[in-house]
Structure 1
Amino acid sequence: MTKLHSVFLRPSLLLAAALLACVFDVRAQNSGTGAVSGRVVNAATGAYLEGAEVSAGTGARVLTDRNGNFTLDRVPSGTQRLRVYYTGLDVATPTVDVRPGQTADVTVAVESKVLQLDAFTVSADREGEAASITRQRTAANVMNVVSTDAFGSVADGNIGNMMVRLPGVSGEWENGEVTGIKIRGTPPEFSAMNLDGVRASGAHSGFNTQGDRGAQSDQIPAEFIKEVQVTKAPTPDMPADSIGGSTNLVTKSALDFKENVLTYRVGANYNAHRDDLQNFTPNAAMTWLTRIGRGRDIGLALSLTYSDTEAPRDRVQTQRSEADGRATQARTLTNINQRIRGGAGLKFDYRLSERTSLALKFQHNYYFFDSNRLVYAASDSATRRVADYNVVSRAQIVAGTVPRTTANLTASVAPGYTDSFTEMLNAAWSFDGDNNERTGRQYYFDARGVTKLGGDQELRYQASFAPSTYKSNLRTFLMTLPVPNGIGMSVDTRGSRSRPLFRQTYGPSILFGEANFRLYRGQMQGQPETGEEEVTNAKVDYLKKFKSGEHPIEFKSGMVWRQQYRNLVVGRPNWNYTGADGIAGNADDDLASLMLPRPAYTVFNSGGAWQQLPGVDFPKAWNLFNTRPELFRPVGTSNTDAPNTSEITEDVYAAYVQGHVQFHQLSVLGGVRFERTEVDAVGRNTDPRRPTVARTTRTGGYDAYFPSLHLRYDLSRQLLARASYSTGAARPNMTDLYPTTTVSYSTTTGLGTVTQANSALKPQESENYDLSLEYYFEPAGVLSVGFFRKDITDFFSRTSDEIDAGTNNGFGGDFAGFTLNTTTNQGTARIDGFEINYTQRLTMLPKPFSGLGLFANYTRLKTSGQYREGATELAGFVPKAGNAGASFRWRKLEARVAWRYTGANLRSYNALVHLQNRFRPVESIDINLKYDFRPRLSVYFDIVNLKSKWPENYTGVDQGRITFSDEYGTRYNMGFSGRF
């Protein structure tokens, strides 16, 4: 614990203790006063309003709860005029007769004379935006709250596509999809994603661009979500694993509306990238909100969603591992990706009595990914050394002699290369056809309740169980050309750094109609993986409000238990294609019969990267593998080896205490959270010279305190200032905690490498400072500017060290002189940044411009880390990100345009600058159009990524050193929607 950490811990504890002492020093209600209780509703929709400010005279203000309820104590007797304020609606000033010692009941209906909208759908959308802004304005800590209505339809039903529009949020991308969320530029594993306040479950397997702590946002249907809350400064009642921040996805509830509501959407998707694909795929969603029971005291919310998307991907890839920029790889990948998302959610809200409310929630999410892929690759075979034609002439090389350098070492690059034209000599050539299937299922069972104990006391309790599974298998039929000395291949980027030309310069032809498949070898490869995860959560919170004093006080404490179990099983079976005689390379192999009958599709609509090439017909090869298994022979023991199994159980026990006091315009919230983490993990030791599989078990644990203090000062009803100090942590990826050890041996040195996970890793911890100023517009809007700083300790650092000799070297004396690769807590890091956020509906303008709305946000941060090699910027962080856009509603037409920008960022760190991988800046434009024929029928048309701009990777500091470029195309969504 740092000195500054302890400085803030003491006042946080003292504040909470002082609030406890208030229990014994609360003044009784004056005999000449009474109380007023009631409910605030929206006059247009009948919805109960949460967060409305209610006051009487010069007395203290109170906020309505989820059901719109409020209670004002110590109100002078007689006729009193209430003042009810809610963002986006007119101030209501009803009168009420207050009698001494009694409680007067009143229902307040607030409306807006500015937004006289007769369409219920429009009223509901505006109400959702106003409700979210109200929650943000009245929050005690720094956060952003946005209604899902604010951005129109969500592309492909992926909630991540909407979240990247929020202030301080950028995306982690895979196959053209947002799969994870980065808050304030930090990696996904630095932030938590919760569903109704509880950690979302997300088993995974196969390739994953983000750490396994990062939630899979693409597997949560947007149809279930009514609001997204992004917390930048956590309070003690929130989980502490949120260095970057946390998101809470609030699901829809029947309590949000007084009347029944049914919404629907039916449409189709279309991707315009590939000329040979002209497929429309369906999507549909429905939500029904109603109240049942004799007294309509049971709220029922049912959501169903289905989305089928075809998303092709083209990638061109090369390698620039030398400082001079020579290109030593020619590789392309073309995918046809199909994604199917389905989900069903059922939620019950039941008022058991005046004191107790219960809620039950059941949810099932289904995700299916099917990808057919063709890959072509010519790769450098001799460490990128330059040939000397005086040692071995070019004619000799073309004839089959190995290229040599001046020092007579093997070579692989022709002399005279530049950073825009390189010829590889002796290159290895291969191509393959793949199919990758992934199937994910998530289940969520949640029960929670609230009991009012009297005396302004409240008990909240919750329990949930969220199991999930994820299965994947990348199956590949690989064709290799085992020519003794390879082929020649040029990489030409003189015309375009993003669209290189690859041309064969010598060797057996690889072109369609010319390739001799008797020279090739075939191999079937499998990568089956199965992941399971179970997240169990239980918590109880106690809340006590002290209203009778001059300054309203709220005390809260609670306990939480969360268990996260994860299991991962990985196999790597391979089979050589040998034909009927069981010998690879003989005439009976007939690999030509497994090829496509026509030239294969190559990148960018076969636009010149390659000349016409043959392609593997994978369905035919897979069918042959299953119907004629005798034609394939296992590679070694790969298909009989026991799969690599890892599992881990992590228990987190937490307790917290916090207090919140309102000193007129000043709000003060402080407290401390304690978390104890216990880990029990099982892994595997893999050593080819010791083939006996040894499973290893490790246990460990650690604990930490997380104090925080949050100040909010209301300079006026519309202008707020905030200051926060908070602490957080980022636990290690579970793959870094599995006690796995892998040994590899060098045939030249006799030594080798030991790669080992570190079960003793501690979490990275941060101290966070926030300052912000917020101005709120009417009827709904905000302009805010904020500054933040994060000091991170125990930063994860990848290390490579030589293993010492002796029995105390950690391996019982074995592996002396080997290189040990592992992850340790060695570094420190610092993040400094600022955010600007603006959103406003310009209702003050004359018609039709009064229907115009604007939004913009920008986040910039500077990072620095202390690695073993010295100080540098942090990998995986996004230093610049921004959004801007406009919406316009005129009569029955609604239009939105949104622009998104993500700045260049470091993908992976290396002490050699030219080996540092970075993403180039990328921007995109989305357009949404909708026309309301009537509330029950609208037609919509969306354009996603209008200019088809996608990420590109480069090495070093020159953005022209591009190593891969992706193309996913522009997507169109169209269909019908409505609300009853």
Structure 2
Amino acid sequence: MVFALCAALAGRAAGTADAPCAFDIPATAAETALRQFAAQSGLEVLFASEAAAGVTTNAVRGRMAPSLAIARLLAGTPLTAALGARSGVWRIVRQPDPNGRAAAPPGTSPSPRSPVETDTPMKSKNPLRLLGAWLAVALTPAPSGHAADGVPTGSIEGRVVNAASGAYVERARLTVEGTTLETFTDEGGNYRFSGVPAGSARVAAFYTGLARQTAAVSVAPGQTAQLNLTLGARPGEAGTVQLDAFVVATSKEMSASALAINEQRFAPNIKNVLSTDEFGFVAEGNAADFLKFLPGITVEDAGGNARSVSINGVPSANVPITVGGFSLASAGVGDTNTGRSVAMDMVSINNLSRIEVEYSPTPESMGDALAGTVNMVPRSAFERARPVLNASAFLIMRSGEHDFKKTPGPRLAPSRKVDPGFDFSYVAPVSKRFGFTLSGGSATNFSPEPMTQTVWRGASAATGGNFPATTPDRPYLTGFTYRDGTKVTTRNSLGATVDFKVSRYDQVSLGYQFSYFHLYASNQVLAFTLNRVLPGDFSVQSTRSAPGQGVLQMSNLVRDRHHRTHTPTVVWRHSGPVWKGDVGLGYSTSTNRNRDIDKGLFFSTTGARRNLTIAFDGMQDVRPDRITVTDAATGAVVDPYAITGKTLDAANAIQNNTADVRRTAYGNLARDFYGRIPLRLKTGFHVRQAVRDNRNRNSAWTFLGADGNAATAESAAPFFDPVYSARRGVFGLPPIQGIGNAVVWQHYVANPAQFSLNANNDYRSVVSSSKRAEETISGAYLRGDVHFFSRRLRLVGGLRAEQTNIEAEGPLTDPARNFQTNAAGQRVPIVPNTNSFEYSRLTFIERGTRAEKEYLRLFPSLNASFNLRDNLVARAAIYRSVGRPDFNQYAGGVTLPDPESIPSPASRIIVSNVGIKAWSADTINVRLEYYFAGVGQLSLNAFRRDFTNFFGGTRAAATPAFLALYDLDPDLYGKFDVETQYNVPGTVRMEGSSLNYKQALAFLPAWARGFQVFGNVSTQRRTGATVGNSGFNFFPRSGSWGLSFTRERFSVRGNWNYRSARQGAAVTGAGLPADNFTWIPRRVTLDAQAEYTFAKRYAVFASMRNLTAEPEETRIYNALTPAPARFRNQIDFGSLWTIGVKGTF
């Protein structure tokens, strides 16, 4: 309120400060003359009596502007005048003498204190206005680096453009030589200096990869000078730039690298930036696939696609993902998804300008940025000086199957395996005040997904009972499964922004992002299972089941998934000479729906053949060398791949409906205070709301057959799928003759009596998955930026406070609802059968549990950067953050015991602990950055992060406070133990380091120029007594490297990504050694691209992701496990090929 009052009063004063007045002031003592000037101009004048002593001013007569009058009045004297731009108050100071001492009036001694001790107002004013003016003067930034000099000031503004690309330059650094003034261009290349000393000024502009430019401009008092700069132009070419006939790819890639390096170089915190043009074409436009080349980043794959992001080993659920600073909704991809991970493969990179990864927060950053955040920045209309359209059309195929003709899989009818796609982006700066962008794309991609899996007793599975004990060096194979899987995915995206400058200092931006992801997958699976093995019938190289104890199990799983995300946003930006601020509103909604029976097919069908004897002999890399199957009754050899002899057992439908909504509102206000120590203060608020709503159904039917008896189930042969079964075999095995899920559904529709639905399980699946959680986080912060040593040292720190409020609903199991009191006063059950549908309806209540929680957390942070040299920057950061739990922690529901029962292990309260604390982390992060001349950087980073409050399971006595979280009566339930989670005492420390190098090799001879290289390596480790409760699945070592070569008409590049072996969870059980773990093996993938420009605007290109078709594998072993038995499973997605043509217009 005080700030607003001061601004209003100062604005009123400034508005009339220079209106012409009549002056009649004789040559006289300065103090008298200044009083007369104040009276005749109607303006306030502030000065120290000591400063005016002994000074005689000039005569001033006539009608003129006050600024001219006071300049004539003080000409030739040691006094100077400065007008407060906001307050309208003239401040008079005495200039120091050339020897640096304050000039003192005759007969006085220099004061050891400031020469200005007492300011005397020269005109009587309203006290409130006077107070406001004084405060406004105090709050008004000094007009230059030497505020006390009192030199009249003006402003400089303009735009900076890149001569080579025609794009406006964002984040170019501009300084006024001889002052501490510094600013950066905005997304439209605009900049503005206020408080520039009047007279001739020299403005220096710098941007990574472009030559530094300095230009002179004349600044008049109280006026704004225009100065537009063109970086990269030769002297004398600051106007229109004529581009070459061919703008070679190296220019685009170097500009992209320069943007990324420049953003990092002048950032207030530790961050990395990637321009979306930096690594060339990204297959399918998958945003997650783009991030895997950054240091400290590992991308988690799902279904052969990069999906979620981990920063420095922190789980992806604790990495906030935003679009333009707004929370991005993600309904996930699981059947009962309540996690926080954002599926980034649902976002198209085609709609983005760049992606920013912050490794240390500022006070604006979210408190749950446990190790950092990822922000995807949409395109802006003002980032270009003129309209530009980029478009491409292409074909996508997989290395394993690239038939142009229609072949089986995955749909009901044969389909093509080579699919067309396109994308485009159009940036249209219509005028200086209005512009828009439009981008979109569509890509359809077929993918084979053959999978194989083994079960080794004594290695990946326990022994005992039907499976004889063995030693760790002598496990034996009892299960082998393989899958002929196929899928087709379609990604459609649309992005648009509208930018409108409503005034000189204000801009409104409207944005909209849409993505649609559709997956259709079909998986024919055949499993060989040995249910019993006799002693002596096994070794590492062979296993034989007991007679009749082998089973062939077949299944077909079909998934039809639809995922939609809508994200509209609006942002108002104010960039005035004094105040700068943003206000933003965003709404993001995401839905994930799985469909089957409403599309005319079951999700899954299963069949089997039993009473077999199965033998495995030999072991190749991923499967047994020979599999022999015989009928136990007849001894006849059985063809395991044929549908003949198998029965249809069951069918299943899964209807998943998950919705995620994210609402974001933020606002901030900042002001710069220039002086010998430049300071910026910024304050703001941030409100985020997340709503996750799950409603799923899992319906299971048992096939009874025509006689209505499941025990005499009929053959699966009538349900044979002739289309899919015509596919080629995988892993060197024959094709599987499988069941057609659509055929079974059609039979069900015609003969529903031949199928039995388990109504109880159906109902319980609905209730158990029906969950809703609403989380509102209200934050406020104060940030300060201060510079020392001529801006070489920068400190950015502050405090953020977040209030979290949670409301959740989940299932309730309450056996007491099944009891009533009869006429005799006896407590009797309503439904005696506790396994019945009627019992479940009484005791299992949909969203019957309601939970609430609120807590306040403070997040201090400090970032420091010091320019050891102009191109050598040392950074350090210290901050606190949290990792919030899964939404299921609040919406997981409650299972109650019968309050009349006796407490026991089978009679206790089972509940997710709503009162559990979020993970907490204290981090220290340091980095040393060296910037090469031109485009290039070398950086070394290290961090230490101490985690507390990890989650663990426990069983403890119920307390009244704990029961109150769920509104439970302590008199009824206080006697029961509670099985729940708690915060594990102790600290887990994670430490890591990374080395990052990137450079355009412009120093090479002309014949060898065009090379760009990059490389990075990251290491991390964790220590602590509670490591097992951390839930981390990080890679101890990871890295990326790449090389590109560009000439005028062609370019080629190769990018490698490396992940070391990763230890997973321990595999325990009878007969298994203590050091038995799941392992993800070391993996190196190569992405390659080539491009040829055959005309001024057109080029052909080819892109190959995972060129060497490295599969995804899992292994389980200990030190004694023999090599064949270490294998657990493998999925081979092949290599993705994209070939197309693109153009720029």
Normalization by structure 2: what TM-score?
0.75
Describe the superposition over 1:616-672 as per-residue Cα deviations: whole angstroms up to 9, x where unpaired: 223322332344433322135334554431001100010011101121211110001
Question: In the aligned structure 2, how far is the partner of 1:33 from the partner of 1:20?
Answer: 17
Q: Which runs of 5+ in 2 are unaligned?
A: 1-134, 236-240, 409-415, 463-470, 597-601, 816-833, 899-903
Question: Is 2:892 the counterpart of 1:739?
Answer: yes
Determine if contact 2:643/2:737 at 8 Å carries over to the other structure.
no
Describe the superposition over 1:416-459 as per-residue Cα deviations: whole angstroms up to 9, x where unpaired: 433x544454344311112111101111110110124x551122
| Change over 3 Å in CA distance of 1:614–1:708 after alignment to 2 | same
> What's the counterpart of residue 514 of structure 2?
364
> What's the counterpart of residue 788 of structure 1?
943
RMSD: 3.4
> What's the counterpart of residue 499 of structure 2?
349
Question: In the aligned structure 1, how far is the partner of 2:200 from the partner of 2:140?
Answer: 32
Give the partner amino acid of 1:348: V
> What's the counterpart of residue 916 of structure 2?
761
Give the partner amino acid of 1:436: R
Point out the more displaced range, 685-694 or 107-116: 107-116
Question: In the aligned structure 2, how far is the partner of 1:285 from the partner of 1:599?
Answer: 32
Determine if contact 2:368/2:882 at 8 Å carries over to the other structure.
yes
1:226 Cα offset (Å): 1.4
Question: In the aligned structure 2, how far is the partner of 1:510 from the partner of 1:936?
Answer: 65
Instruction: Specify the SS of the correspondent of 2:289.
Output: helix
Q: 2:647 aligns with which of 499, 520, 545?
A: 520
> What's the counterpart of residue 1012 of structure 2?
853
1:923 Cα offset (Å): 1.1
Determine if contact 2:295/2:994 at 8 Å carries over to the other structure.
yes
Q: Give runs of aligned pairs for residues 791-940 of structure 1, distance below 5 A.
A: 791-797=946-952, 799=953, 801=955, 820=979, 822=981, 824-826=983-985, 828-867=987-1026, 875-909=1032-1066, 913-940=1074-1101
Q: 2:422 aligns with which of 279, 284, 290?
A: 284
Determine if contact 1:36/1:105 at 8 Å carries over to the other structure.
yes
1:71 Cα offset (Å): 3.1
Determine if contact 1:861/1:879 at 8 Å carries over to the other structure.
yes
> What's the counterpart of residue 458 of structure 1?
580
Question: Is 2:716 the counterpart of 1:578?
Answer: no
Point out the more displaced range, 506-515 or 921-930: 506-515
Question: In the aligned structure 2, how far is the partner of 1:865 from the partner of 1:378?
Answer: 42
1:584 Cα offset (Å): 2.7
| Change over 3 Å in CA distance of 1:707–1:447 after alignment to 2 | same
Instruction: Specify the SS of the correspondent of 2:1110.
Output: coil
Question: In the aligned structure 2, how far is the partner of 1:805 from the partner of 1:95?
Answer: 75
Determine if contact 2:958/2:978 at 8 Å carries over to the other structure.
no
Describe the superposition over 1:161-195 as per-residue Cα deviations: whole angstroms up to 9, x where unpaired: 11111221111111101111111222101211110
Question: In the aligned structure 1, how far is the partner of 2:980 from the partner of 2:189?
Answer: 57
1:847 Cα offset (Å): 2.6
| Change over 3 Å in CA distance of 1:321–1:255 after alignment to 2 | same
Q: 1:332 aligns with which of 482, 494, 502?
A: 482
| Change over 3 Å in CA distance of 1:786–1:481 after alignment to 2 | same
Q: 1:311 aligns with which of 444, 447, 450?
A: 447
Give the partner amino acid of 2:209: G
Of structures 1 and 2, the one scoring higher in RCO (CA 8 A, sep 6+) is 1
Instruction: Specify the SS of the correspondent of 1:92.
Output: strand
Question: Is 2:790 the counterpart of 1:650?
Answer: no
| Change over 3 Å in CA distance of 1:728–1:516 after alignment to 2 | closer
| Change over 3 Å in CA distance of 1:369–1:493 after alignment to 2 | farther
Question: Is 2:150 the counterpart of 1:30?
Answer: yes
> What's the counterpart of residue 394 of structure 1?
none
> What's the counterpart of residue 553 of structure 1?
679
Point out the more displaced range, 432-441 or 499-508: 499-508
| Change over 3 Å in CA distance of 1:885–1:874 after alignment to 2 | same
> What's the counterpart of residue 622 of structure 1?
745
| Change over 3 Å in CA distance of 1:815–1:858 after alignment to 2 | farther
1:744 Cα offset (Å): 12
Describe the superposition over 1:247-274 as per-residue Cα deviations: whole angstroms up to 9, x where unpaired: 0001111111010011111111111224
Point out the more displaced range, 870-879 or 328-337: 870-879
> What's the counterpart of residue 437 of structure 1?
560
**How many pairs were matched up?**
916
Q: 1:246 aligns with which of 373, 382, 398?
A: 373
Describe the superposition over 1:280-304 as per-residue Cα deviations: whole angstroms up to 9, x where unpaired: 0111111111133xx4421111111
1:73 Cα offset (Å): 4.6
Describe the superposition over 1:894-941 as per-residue Cα deviations: whole angstroms up to 9, x where unpaired: 111011111112333567754532211111111111111234211111
| Change over 3 Å in CA distance of 1:522–1:741 after alignment to 2 | same
Q: Give runs of aligned pairs for residues 415-494 of structure 1, distance below 5 A.
A: 415-418=537-540, 421-425=542-546, 426-452=549-575, 454=576, 456-473=578-595, 475-481=602-608, 483=610, 487-491=612-616, 494=619
Question: In the aligned structure 2, how far is the partner of 1:113 from the partner of 1:187?
Answer: 49
Point out the more displaced range, 271-280 or 198-207: 271-280
Determine if contact 2:879/2:922 at 8 Å carries over to the other structure.
yes
| Change over 3 Å in CA distance of 1:459–1:734 after alignment to 2 | same
Q: Which runs of 5+ in 1 are unaligned?
A: 1-18, 389-413
Give the partner amino acid of 1:465: Y
| Change over 3 Å in CA distance of 1:859–1:729 after alignment to 2 | same
Q: Give runs of aligned pairs for residues 223-234 of structure 1, distance below 5 A.
A: 223-234=350-361
1:834 Cα offset (Å): 0.2
1:25 Cα offset (Å): 8.5
Question: In the aligned structure 2, how far is the partner of 1:814 from the partner of 1:491?
Answer: 55
Describe the superposition over 1:451-503 as per-residue Cα deviations: whole angstroms up to 9, x where unpaired: 24x551122100111111111247444334374xx54444556332x344462
1:318 Cα offset (Å): 1.9
Question: In the aligned structure 2, how far is the partner of 1:930 from the partner of 1:346?
Answer: 28
Give the partner amino acid of 1:448: V
Larger Rg: 2
> What's the counterpart of residue 391 of structure 1?
none
1:739 Cα offset (Å): 3.3
Give the partner amino acid of 1:441: R
| Change over 3 Å in CA distance of 1:554–1:424 after alignment to 2 | farther
Question: In the aligned structure 2, how far is the partner of 1:697 from the partner of 1:332?
Answer: 44
Point out the more displaced range, 895-904 or 266-275: 266-275
Question: In the aligned structure 2, how far is the partner of 1:938 from the partner of 1:370?
Answer: 33
Normalization by structure 1: what TM-score?
0.87
Give the partner amino acid of 2:429: R
Instruction: Specify the SS of the correspondent of 1:214.
Output: coil
1:205 Cα offset (Å): 4.6
1:329 Cα offset (Å): 2.5
Instruction: Specify the SS of the correspondent of 1:361.
Output: strand
> What's the counterpart of residue 930 of structure 2?
775
Describe the superposition over 1:134-167 as per-residue Cα deviations: whole angstroms up to 9, x where unpaired: 1110001000011011100001111111111122
Q: 1:40 aligns with which of 138, 153, 160?
A: 160
Give the partner amino acid of 2:159: R
Determine if contact 2:641/2:737 at 8 Å carries over to the other structure.
no
Point out the more displaced range, 61-70 or 321-330: 321-330
Question: In the aligned structure 2, how far is the partner of 1:578 from the partner of 1:226?
Answer: 58
> What's the counterpart of residue 161 of structure 1?
289
Give the partner amino acid of 1:23: L
Q: 1:97 aligns with which of 185, 198, 218?
A: 218
Describe the superposition over 1:739-759 as per-residue Cα deviations: whole angstroms up to 9, x where unpaired: 3246999xxx99489764332
Give the partner amino acid of 2:461: S
Describe the superposition over 1:801-834 as per-residue Cα deviations: whole angstroms up to 9, x where unpaired: 4889999998977899999465655563211000
Give the partner amino acid of 1:837: N
Describe the superposition over 1:543-577 as per-residue Cα deviations: whole angstroms up to 9, x where unpaired: 11112x12321111101111111100121111122
> What's the counterpart of residue 179 of structure 1?
307
Determine if contact 2:656/2:695 at 8 Å carries over to the other structure.
yes
